[in-house]
Structure formats: C-alpha cells, structure tokens
C-alpha cells in the first residue's frame, strides 16, 4: 500500500472539485467542518508530497481535504479511486507524464489552498 502512516481522525475543512476551501458560511454562522478519519486507507489516500498530489490531481483524482495539524507539514487527503495505486507507482518509477502547464497550475492551487486557509 502506498499510504503514509497518519494519526487518528480529526475535524478538517473539506474542499470542493476546484480544490479550494469549501465555504459553507451563511449569514454570520461559522463554517462547517466535516469529520474525516485519518486512518481510512480503504476510502482515502494520504500523502505529504505536494508533487505526487499535484500529479494525481492532473490524473483527475479528487482532493477532499487538507490537514495542517502538524506545524510546517500538510497532509493531503484524496478520495481513493480506481487505479490510484498504479498511478502512484508510475510516479515513483518515473514512468508518468502530464502536461507541464497543468502540473504547474495544480501546484499553484495546492499552495494557494495551504496558505489561504487558517
């Protein structure tokens, strides 16, 4: 399995398909948080590697959340889909390729999300 070991679940902010923070704030109410388990490797893929996550986003896998509980380290949480393990293996074996502009845009989106959310 290609998942990194992560701590137990906590409340984290979910993201939408545009990979930006989902704002559910309505007229003065606080934003909603959803519980995502940080040890559910059957349904989610976890990684701290921004390059790998950008590649997977270019391959149309869905980012569902970020966990910034550890200082100076972000845990990216993706919905586990068919073929994700194969794509991760291709990435680490240097047998993957994506459009450079798409990859760069995904890196920018991820960095924007990391630094724009609390």
pLDDT digits (tens, 9 = 90+) for 15-57: 443 333 344 445 555 566 677 888 889 999 999 999 999 999 9
Q: Give 34's strand partners.
A: 12
Residue 83 phi/psi, 5-degree rounding, is 85, 5
Q: Count of residues for the chain? A: 118
Number of C-beta neighbours around residue 63 at 10 A: 25
Contacts of 21 (CB under 8 A, 6+ apart): 13, 15, 113, 116, 117
Q: Judge if pTM exceeds 0.75.
A: no
The answer to whether residues 63 and 19 touch, using CB atoms and an 8 Å cutoff, is yes
pLDDT value, residue 24:
44
């Amino acid at each position: 399995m290609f998942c990194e070991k992560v701590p137990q679940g906590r409340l984290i902010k979910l993201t939408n398909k545009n990979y930006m923070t989902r704002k559910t704030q309505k007229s003065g109410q606080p934003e909603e948080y959803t519980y995502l388990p940080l040890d559910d490797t059957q349904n989610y893929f976890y990684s701290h590697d921004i390059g790998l996550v950008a590649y997977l986003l270019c391959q149309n896998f869905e980012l569902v959340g970020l966990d910034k509980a550890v200082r100076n380290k972000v845990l990216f949480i993706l919905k586990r889909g068919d073929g994700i393990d194969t794509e991760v293996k291709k990435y680490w074996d240097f047998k993957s390729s994506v459009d450079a502009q798409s990859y760069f845009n995904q890196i920018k989106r991820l960095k924007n999300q990391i630094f724009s959310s609390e």
